[in-house]
Chains A and B, each alone.
Chain A
C-alpha cells in the first residue's frame, strides 16, 4: 500500500463497469445546468465585448476591464482574440472601431474575425491601429485564458490548463475552475480539477475549514511533488494564520507523501542500478570466460567491445547508403557481424600471442595491454578520433512510466538483452559438447587431452567466444555510450572489478557481481555524488578482496589450487 502510484496514473483508469451510462447522463445534465447560461450567448452578443478591447487605447485599465468582462463570459470562443492580443496581433479598424486579428500580408494586413475565424478582408497599414498591451495586461490575459481554456473542447488543452491553474494556485481562478469542474465529463480531468481546486482552497485562508481539510485529503491522494510543495507551504505558514487542526492534517499528509515519494525514488534507483548492472554484465561476461574459465587476463577485452560498437556503426552506414528501409533491423544485422568480427580478432590474438604465454598471467596481461593500444590506434587511424554517430531504431527510443518510475526503452531492452546473453551462454556451457570440452579443459588440461579433446583448439574457441560476446556487448553499448576509440577503456576496470568481485570461474558470480555493483553504485550516487560513489565502490571492492580473495562465489575443491 505504501507503493501506491501517484494519482496521475488514475486519470487513465477506465470508469467502473456499469457506471459509464449514468456518468454520461450526469455529465450532460451538469453541462446543461452550469454551462448553459454562459454558453447561451451568441457570437453576436460577444462582439461588443471583443470590440471593447479596442476602446482602451493608452488607458490600460480600460482594456483590462474589457479583458475581465470577456473572461467572465467563460466562452471558449473568445480565446483566439485574447491570445492574439497577448501576441500583439489584435488590431482595431479606425473606420468602425471593430476589432480584428491582423497578420501582415501584402500592402497592409490580412484581417480575420476573432470570434468566427472567418477572413475579413484586407486593410491598409494606416487604416488599423494596433491594440497596445503591457506586462500587466499580459498577466491578466494569462489568467483569463487559464479560466477559458478549462472549457476548451480539446482534452489535452484542458489538461494543460488545469495544470497551469494548479501551478498558479491563484484564488481568483477558483470560480471559473468550479464552473469548469461542474461541466467536466472526463473523469481524469475532473480529478485533476478537484486537485487544482484543493490547492487553491489551501491558498485561500477565508475558505471553509471543512473544505480545506478535504482539500488536504485530495492533495494527499495526488501524492506527487507539487502536492507535497503545496502541503509543506501550509505546514511552514506562520502561526496564527493556519488552523492547528489543518496544520496537523497537512503535516501528516505531507509526511505520507514524502514517504511514498522516497520509496518511488528508491525504486527508481534500483532500476538505474539494474540498468548499469546490465551494462556491466554485458561488458564483463566475455571477460568472465577468458579470465574466469581460461585464467587469461585479457586487457584488450574493452577493445573487443569497441570493435563491436564500430561494427554497428559500419553496418548502419552501409544500410543508410544502400537499403535505408532496413534501418529498423540494423541492430539485429549488426549483432552476428559484431560477434564474428570480435571473435575473429580474438581468435587471431589467441593464436598469435596468448598461446605462447599460457601459465604466465602477468606477461599475458602486458601483451594484451599492448594489443589494446594497437587496436585503439588502428581504429583511430581508420575512423578518426571523434565520436561516431550510431543511430537508434525507432523501437529503441521513447520511454514509459510504470507508477512513479521512468523507464526508457533502450535501457529496458539492454537489461533484457544482457539477461538473454547470459542465459544463452549458460546453456552453451552446460548443455553443448563444446561447453563440456571447455569445462573439461578448464578442470584438468592433461586429462582432457588424454581423452581426445584438442585442447589448443578448445583454447582458441573459448577465447573467440569470450571476445565475440564482448563484440555483442559493443552493439548494445553503442546505443547508450559514445562510440569512440576509447570506448573500451572505460569499461575494462569496471569489468575486472565485476569478475573479481563475483568470483572467478563462475558465471553466476558475474551476474550477481554486476547487478550488485550497479545497484550499490546508483544508491551511493545521490548521497556521495557520482565520482565519490564510484571511488567508494572501488575501495569497497579492494577491501572485499582482502576478505574473500576468491570473490563472492569461489570455486571449491582441487581446482582452486593454483
Chain B
C-alpha cells in the first residue's frame, strides 16, 4: 500500500530526477574509489564530501519548500530542526569515541570531563545505540515542530508573525546551546568524531557510503514530498496557502493540515542535519544562527518556490556559487548573496524552475502559485509579473499586515 502511495507521486519529472540522483549516487563514489588518484576521471575525496554537503542542503531546502511553497508557511527557523537532527547524530558519534578521547573517559565526552562533570546527563543516555540516535533524529525536531506548530497554528499566528517567531525560536536555541550548562559542548559544539557504525569516519569508503546514504535520503524525501503534494492532502495545503480563510470556511481543519506538514518538514530537516554532521565532522551552535535559516529560504526562492525539484536545484546552485565565490572573491560573496535575494524576489519571483516551466509552456504564467500571499480572486487577474507592474503593488486594495 505504501509502495502504491509512493508510486503515485511519480511523474515524468520525478522519474528523471530520481534517475539522475541514482546515477550520481553510483557514479560519484565509483569515480572516487575505483579510479587512481592521477586519472582524469578521479573525483577527490573532498569533492565527495562537498557534494554530500550539497545534497544535505538540498534535503533541507526541500523541507522548507514543502511548507513554504505548498502551504505558505515561511519558516525562518528551519535551521533549528536541521541543527537538532545534527546534534542528535553528533551525540551518537560523541559516544562512539569512547576511550579514544583526549581524557580517555569511557563514558563521558571530553568536554564534560573538562567541565568536571561526574556523571552523564540523563538526556545523553541511549545515544550509544545507533537506532536510538536515529529515532531521536526524527523525534526531537518533529516533537519541537509539533509543539511549536500546535500552539502557533491553533492561535492562527500566520504570515510575517509566524516567520518572526520561528526566527525567535532558532535564536533562543542558538543562545541556549551556547551555554556550557546545557551539556552540548557549548561554544565548541561536538566534534573530533572517530567512527560511525564501526567504520572510521575519515575513511574514503565511509565517506562514499555517507554520500550514497545522503543521496538515498534525498531521493526518499523527494518521493515523500512529491506524494504529499500530489495527494488530496496536498491539494488542501495549496488551498490553505492561497486562501486560508476560505479553506477554513469550507470545513477543513486548516491547523491540522499545517501541523502535519510542518512536523513532516521538520523531520526531513532533522535527517538532513543528521547526515550533514558526520560528513562535515562538527556541529556547533552557529548552525542555529537565524541567518542560516534565511539563507535556506533563498535557495528555495532561487530554484523556484512550489516546485520540489526547484528547491533541490536552488540549494545546489547557490551553494556551489558560495563555494566558488568564497574561494575566489570572498569579499564579494555577501554582495552576491544579497543581490541574489533582491534580484530573485524582484525579477524572478517564480525561481529558475518556475520561470523555465512557464517558458516551456509557451505562455505567461497565470494563477496564484507564485504570487503567494494574494488570494485567488485578487491575483488571478494579474497577468503581469509584479516586477513589470510597479503600480500594481501600492494600488492593491488591502495589504496584508
Contacts and interface: CB of A to CB of B under 8 A. Distances in A.
Contact of A362 (B159, B167, B178): B159
A375 B171 CA distance: 22
B260 interface: no
Given A295-B400, A370-B342, A535 B175 contact: yes
Given A362-B372, A363-B372, A356 B172 contact: no
A547 B386 contact: no
A445 B400 CA distance: 13
A91 interface: no
A245 B399 CA distance: 75
Interface stretch (A16-24, A44-52, A325-333, A537-545): A537-545
Contacts of B297: 366
Interface centre among A359, A456, A489, A561 (most CB of B within 10 A): A359
B168 interface: yes
B373 interface: yes
B160 A535 contact: no
Interface in B164-191: 164-165, 167-169, 171-172, 175-176, 178-179
Interface stretch (A25-33, A198-206, A493-501): A493-501
B155 interface: yes
Nearest to A504: B401
Nearest to B289: A489
Interface in B357-401: 371-374, 386-387, 390, 393-401
B163 interface: yes
B94 to A, nearest CB: 23
Given A361-B400, A546-B155, A355 B161 contact: no
Nearest to A363: B345
A83 to B, nearest CB: 46
Given A362-B160, A374-B334, A562-B401, A538 B396 contact: no
SS of A interface (majority): helix
Number of contact residues on A: which range applies?
Answer: 35 or more
B151 interface: yes
Contact of B339 (A374, A496, A500): A374
A65 to B, nearest CB: 51
Contacts of A534: 172, 175
Interface in A101-142: none
B51 interface: no
A369 B296 CA distance: 13
B397 A360 contact: no
Given A370-B339, A370-B340, A357 B393 contact: yes
A541 B179 CA distance: 21
Contact of B172 (A359, A370, A445, A538): A538
Contacts of A546: 151-152, 154-155, 157
B372 A360 contact: yes
Contact of B345 (A355, A357, A375, A545): A357
A549 interface: yes
A541 B175 contact: no
A510 to B, nearest CB: 15
A148 to B, nearest CB: 49
A367 B160 contact: no
A539 B172 contact: yes
Range, interface on chain B:
35 or more
B163 A545 contact: no
A365 B172 contact: no
Contacts of A357: 345-346, 386, 393
Interface string A211-249: 000000000000000000000000000000000000000
A130 to B, nearest CB: 49
A376 interface: yes
Contacts of A543: 151
A489 B174 CA distance: 14
Contacts of A489: 291
B11 interface: no
A358 B394 contact: yes
A373 B398 contact: no
Nearest to A551: B161
A381 B332 CA distance: 9
A302 to B, nearest CB: 12
A83 B64 CA distance: 75
B334 A373 contact: yes
A348 interface: no
Interface in A479-533: 489, 493, 496-497, 500, 504-505, 529, 531-532
A545 B166 CA distance: 11
A371 B342 contact: yes
B352 to A, nearest CB: 16
B396 A358 contact: yes
A362 B74 contact: yes
A263 B291 CA distance: 41
Nearest to B394: A358
A124 to B, nearest CB: 61
B390 A370 contact: no
A543 to B, nearest CB: 7
A456 B391 CA distance: 9
Nearest to A559: B401
Contacts of A547: 155
Given A365-B163, A455-B394, A359 B399 contact: yes
A365 B164 CA distance: 10
B338 A371 contact: yes
A545 B371 contact: no
Given A359-B399, A504-B401, A445 B176 contact: no
Contacts of A446: 395, 397
B164 A361 contact: no
A463 to B, nearest CB: 12
Question: Most chain-A Cβ atoms within 10 A of its Cβ — which of B163, B176, B342?
Answer: B342
A535 B335 contact: no
Given A445-B399, A455-B394, A535-B175, A367 B346 contact: yes
Interface string B309-337: 00000000000000000000001101101
A355 B297 CA distance: 21
Contact of A366 (B154, B345, B390): B345
B169 A542 contact: yes
B341 A355 contact: no
A346 to B, nearest CB: 15
Contacts of B373: 359-362
B127 to A, nearest CB: 23
Contacts of A359: 373-374, 393, 396, 399-400
B338 A373 contact: yes
A372 interface: yes
A366 B334 contact: no
B399 A372 contact: no
A366 B176 contact: no
A377 B159 contact: no
A367 B347 CA distance: 11
A357 B165 CA distance: 22
Name the residue among B156, B338, B372 with the largest chain A CB count within 10 angstroms. Answer: B338
Given A497-B168, A545-B161, A549-B161, A370 B401 contact: no
A-B residue pairs, 3 tightest by C-beta:
A370-B341, A373-B338, A374-B338
10 contacts: A357-B345, A359-B393, A360-B372, A360-B373, A362-B372, A366-B301, A377-B332, A500-B164, A505-B401, A562-B400
Interface of A: 295, 297, 353, 355-367, 369-378, 380-381, 445-446, 449, 455-456, 459, 489, 493, 496-497, 500, 504-505, 529, 531-532, 534-535, 538-539, 541-543, 545-547, 549, 560-562
Given A360-B372, A449-B395, A500-B165, 18 more contacts: A357-B345, A358-B393, A359-B393, A360-B373, A365-B74, A373-B335, A373-B337, A374-B334, A376-B334, A445-B394, A459-B394, A496-B167, A497-B164, A497-B168, A531-B175, A541-B168, A543-B151, A549-B157
